[in-house]
Amino acid sequence: MIDADESEIRGRWVEGSGRVENDANTERIERLTRDYLREVKRDSSGWNVLYIDPKDGRYWELSYPDSGLSAGGPPLLKHLSREDVTEKYGDVSH
């Protein structure tokens, strides 16, 4: 679940055992987008994905702000206002 006061969950990569590994936030983002949040729409690039929280109706965008890194870099899950959703994704129905 996502707490009501959360507005961003930023994943990071950490070095461990001689390789890069996901941190706890990256693992959490993967669980949330796989098992909890409901996908609403993808942008034209396919990299940014809009989700809705079934519990409170808030919108969340999955993006990869460090896209220059291998595999798009670590993920960012960020709350978007309804206005931001409309501006970026157009009309969305859930």
Q: What percent of the chain has pLDDT over 90?
A: 69
Q: Is residue 21 part of a domain?
A: yes
Q: Using one digit for the tens of pLDDT, what is the confidence trace for 45-75? A: 888 999 999 999 999 999 998 766 666 689 9
Total domain count for the chain?
1
Answer whether residue 84 is part of any domain: yes
What's the pLDDT at 69?
A: 61
Instruction: Please check whether residue 67 is in contact with residue 47, taking contact to mean a CB–CB distance below 8 angstroms.
Output: yes
Task: Tell me, yes or no, whether 46 lies in a domain.
Answer: yes
The reply to whether 1 falls in a domain is no
4 neighbors 57 (Cβ within 8 angstroms): no
| pLDDT for the residue numbered 63 | 95
Report yes or no on 26 lying in a domain.
yes
Q: Quick one: which H or E segment has residue 87?
A: helix 82-89
Domain assignment present for residue 3? The answer is no
Q: For residue 94, what pLDDT is reported?
A: 57
Q: Is the confidence at residue 13, as pLDDT, over 90? A: no
Q: Which domain holds residue 63?
A: 8-89
Range 81-86 average pLDDT: 96
Domain assignment of residue 45, yes or no: yes
Tokens of 73: 């870099």
15 falls in which pLDDT band (50, 70, 90)?
confident
User: What DSSP state is assigned to residue 54?
Assistant: T
φ/ψ of residue 63, rounded to 5? -140, 175
